Structure 1
Amino acid sequence: MSMPLDPFSGLAAFLAVAESGGFSAASARLGVSPAAVSQAIKALESKFGVALFVRTTRRVRLTEAGAALLSRVKPAATEIIEAVDAVSTTLDEPSGFLRLTVPRMAVPLVVHQIVPPLRHHYPRISIEISVEDATIDLLGHGFDAGIRIGEYVDLDMVGVRLTRDINWSVVASPSYLATHGRPERPEDLAAHESIRYRFPTSGAIYRWEFENEGRAFSVDPPGSLIVNDGALLVSFAVSGLGLSYVADIAVETELRAQLLVRVLEPFLPTTPGLFLYFPQRAQTQPKLRALIEIARDGLKSR
C-alpha cells in the first residue's frame, strides 16, 4: 500500500511567495535559496495541475486559482502557527517569528526604544519590521501586530497604549514665517503655502482638522507640494517650503531646537496617541506577550 502524498508539501513556500510578493523575499523569509522556493512552487503547481502564480520580470502575482488556494490555506496556516506557539509556552523563553507593521513616525518614538531590549532579553524571537504609513490588514498580510495612531485602530483589535495623546500641530520654520507672516486663524491658510499629505491606501488628500468653540471642522489648504510620507512633512517644513500639519510627538526635537514653530494652537485638536494593536486571540502567544512587556516597561515615560 503506497503512502499518500504529503498535503503540506510546498505550502510554506506558497504562503511565503504570496505574502511577500516575490521569490527572493520568500527565500529570505524561509532561509533557503530562491531556486529552492521556485522548485517547491513548480512541484506544487504540477501536483495541482494549475498555475498558482503569474511571473513577470518585475513582479509575481497570484492567479485566480492561487488566490482561491490562499483564501483557504491562510486561515488554516494561522491556526497551525498559533497552535505551535501555544506549545512553546512550556519553553523557558518566548521564540518564533514576529512580524510588525509600523508607521514611519513610530520608528524614532517607539521602535528604537523597544526592539533592542526585546532582542537582548528574548534572542530566540526573530523580528521583521515593515515601515509604511498605510493602514494594513494584519491577518491578510501575515503580520502579528502593528503600531498605529489610536483612532485608526479597528475596534475588534486589542490596543496597548504606547505614547501619550497627540496634540496636532501646524508647524513652519522661522524663515518661512518671517517671509510669509504668521496665520492667526485657520481661514488665513488660504494665503499660505501648505505641504499636503496623500493617504497611501485611499489616495485621498488629508484635510487639516481644527476645532473652534466645540465645533470641529476641516480645511483643505492650498499647496503645490504633496507627499505620502510623514517624515517628509517634517523635513520640508524645516526647509522652509511651507506649513505642515503633524503630530506634536513627531516634531518634539525640531520644536526644542527652534527649527519649527507651532501656529494656530488654539484651534488644534487632541487625539489618542500611538497604540500597539493585534487580534484578541493573538495575545496568548509568548512572543507577543514579550513584546507587550518590553513596550510597557520601556515606554512608561512617553
Structure 2
Amino acid sequence: MKLNQLDGLMAFWKVAEHGGFTAAAADLAVSPSALSQAIRQLEARLGVRLLNRTTRSVSLTEAGEAYLARVGPALGQVIDAGDELNALQGRPSGTLRLNAARVSTALVLRPLLDGFLRANPHVHLELTNDEGFVDIVEKGFDAGIRFGESIHRDMVAVPIGGPVAVAVVASPEYLQRVPAPRHPDDLVRHNCIRFRFAATGAIYKWEFEVDGQLVDYDIAGNLTLSDTMFGLDAALDGVGLAYTFEQLARPHIRAKRLKRVLTAFSPTFPGFHLYYPSRHDQPSKLKALIEYVGRHRH
C-alpha cells in the first residue's frame, strides 16, 4: 500500500501515539516498512528528523514533539469530521478502542460483540485487556469496562450487564484433601489462590457478608496471579480455593468439576459499567456502542 502526503502525517501521528511501528502499522492496516517509508518521505519534505529510531525503541525528537503538538489536534479534527459525516449518513465508522479486564470481557462484553459489529459494519473494534485500572484518556482509549466502584468520578458510567454474584470454588480432589470451609474464618486452613493488582502491587482481599456486614479477609496461599481468569483454571487443576464469579463457575459446577463453598457468605456486587470521558461531542462510533449497550443491557 502506498501512503500519500496526508497518510505520512497520519503515519507519524500513529507512531507517536503507539510508541512504535508495529502497533501503528497494525492500526493503519499497512506494513511497518510502508509506514517507515512514509515517515522518511515526510521527514525529507520537512527537512528535519521527527523520530529517533533504534533497534528496540522509537522516540520523538525535539522537532518531532513540536511538530506533533501542531499537527496532532488538526489530524484529530480531520478524523472527527469524517466520523461526523458518516454519522450524518447514519453510518458510524472508524476504530473504537476499548480497555477492559479479561473477566469483564468474558462476562459482559463478549455476548454483545457479534450483534454490535453486525449492526455497525464500518466500525473496527480494538480491544485491549488489562487487569489493572487504566486512564483511558491518557492511553488513547475511547472507553473502558470496569466495576462501577473503581471508575473515576469525572467519567460517565453506564451499567452493562446486571449484578454479579461471587462464588468460592474448588475441585472435588482438593476438598477431599482439605475439608470445605463452613465460615470465612476457616480460610486460614486453606490454600487460597490470590490476585495481585499489577498497578499497585496490592493483594486483593476476599469480601464476604458476615452478620449483615461486608468484611474483608486477608487470605494466604502459594499461588498469586495477576490474571483474573486463570484463578478458575488453577482451581480446576486442584491448586486450591478460587474467588471468582458465579456466572463463570456455573458450567464447571454443573459438570461437577468444581464445588461451591461459603455460598451463604458470598456477596453480590452491582456489576460492570461502560465508562468514557464526559464530553458532549462523542464520536459516532462511541455513540453507537453506548446506544447498543443501552438497548441490550439486562
Q: Fold match, TM over 0.5?
A: yes
- Residue of structure 2 equivalent to 1:141: 139
Q: What is the rounded CA distance, in whole Å, between the counterparts of 2:280 and 2:237 in structure 1?
A: 43
- Deviation of 1:44 after TM superposition, in Å, equals 5.7
Structure 2 residue aligned with 1:209, among 207, 210, 225?
207
Q: TM-score, normalized by length of structure 1?
A: 0.83
Contact 1:85 1:96 in 2 (8 A): yes
Change (3 A) 1:77 1:61: same
- Residue of structure 1 equivalent to 2:221: 223
Change (3 A) 1:251 1:11: farther
Letter in 2 for 1:163: G
Q: What is the rounded CA distance, in whole Å, between the counterparts of 2:100 and 2:71 in structure 1?
A: 26
Contact 2:8 2:38 in 1 (8 A): yes
Change (3 A) 1:215 1:51: same
Change (3 A) 1:226 1:53: farther
Structure 2 residue aligned with 1:28, among 3, 26, 49?
26
- Residue of structure 2 equivalent to 1:39: 37
Moved more, 120-129 or 109-118: 109-118
- Residue of structure 2 equivalent to 1:191: 189
Q: Secondary structure at the match of 1:140?
A: helix
Letter in 2 for 1:55: T
Q: What is the rounded CA distance, in whole Å, between the counterparts of 2:178 and 2:124 in structure 1?
A: 50
Q: What is the rounded CA distance, in whole Å, between the counterparts of 1:90 and 1:241 in structure 2?
A: 55
Identity across matched positions, percent: 41
Letter in 2 for 1:137: D
Structure 2 residue aligned with 1:278, among 268, 276, 279?
276
Q: Secondary structure at the match of 2:275?
A: strand
- Deviation of 1:237 after TM superposition, in Å, equals 0.7
Change (3 A) 1:70 1:222: farther
Letter in 2 for 1:246: T
- Deviation of 1:45 after TM superposition, in Å, equals 5.9
Aligned length: 293
- Residue of structure 2 equivalent to 1:55: 54
Contact 2:162 2:297 in 1 (8 A): no
- Residue of structure 1 equivalent to 2:256: 258
- Residue of structure 2 equivalent to 1:95: 93
Change (3 A) 1:229 1:85: same
Q: What is the rounded CA distance, in whole Å, between the counterparts of 1:252 and 1:68 in structure 2?
A: 55
Q: What is the rounded CA distance, in whole Å, between the counterparts of 1:97 and 1:298 in structure 2?
A: 22
Q: Runs of 5+ in structure 2 lacking a partner?
A: none
Contact 2:51 2:58 in 1 (8 A): no
- Deviation of 1:170 after TM superposition, in Å, equals 1.9
Moved more, 236-245 or 283-292: 283-292
Q: What is the rounded CA distance, in whole Å, between the counterparts of 2:236 and 2:53 in structure 1?
A: 45
- Residue of structure 1 equivalent to 2:125: 127
- Deviation of 1:225 after TM superposition, in Å, equals 0.9
Change (3 A) 1:220 1:37: same
- Deviation of 1:223 after TM superposition, in Å, equals 0.9
Q: What is the rounded CA distance, in whole Å, between the counterparts of 2:129 and 2:67 in structure 1?
A: 28
Change (3 A) 1:185 1:239: same
Contact 1:144 1:282 in 2 (8 A): no
Q: What is the rounded CA distance, in whole Å, between the counterparts of 1:247 and 1:70 in structure 2?
A: 44
- Deviation of 1:10 after TM superposition, in Å, equals 4.3
- Deviation of 1:193 after TM superposition, in Å, equals 0.6
Superposed CA RMSD? 2.9
- Deviation of 1:216 after TM superposition, in Å, equals 3.6
- Residue of structure 2 equivalent to 1:108: 106
Structure 2 residue aligned with 1:182, among 173, 180, 187?
180
Q: What is the rounded CA distance, in whole Å, between the counterparts of 2:198 and 2:65 in structure 1?
A: 24
- Residue of structure 1 equivalent to 2:292: 294
Q: What is the rounded CA distance, in whole Å, between the counterparts of 1:203 and 1:63 in structure 2?
A: 34
Contact 2:159 2:297 in 1 (8 A): no
Q: TM-score, normalized by length of structure 2?
A: 0.84
Q: Structure 1, residues 100-141: CA drift from partner, whole Å, max 9, x if none?
A: 122211333333322212222221112211122222221222
Q: What is the rounded CA distance, in whole Å, between the counterparts of 1:211 and 1:120 in structure 2?
A: 42
Q: What is the rounded CA distance, in whole Å, between the counterparts of 2:121 and 2:174 in structure 1?
A: 48
Letter in 1 for 2:160: L
Letter in 2 for 1:258: K
Letter in 2 for 1:180: V
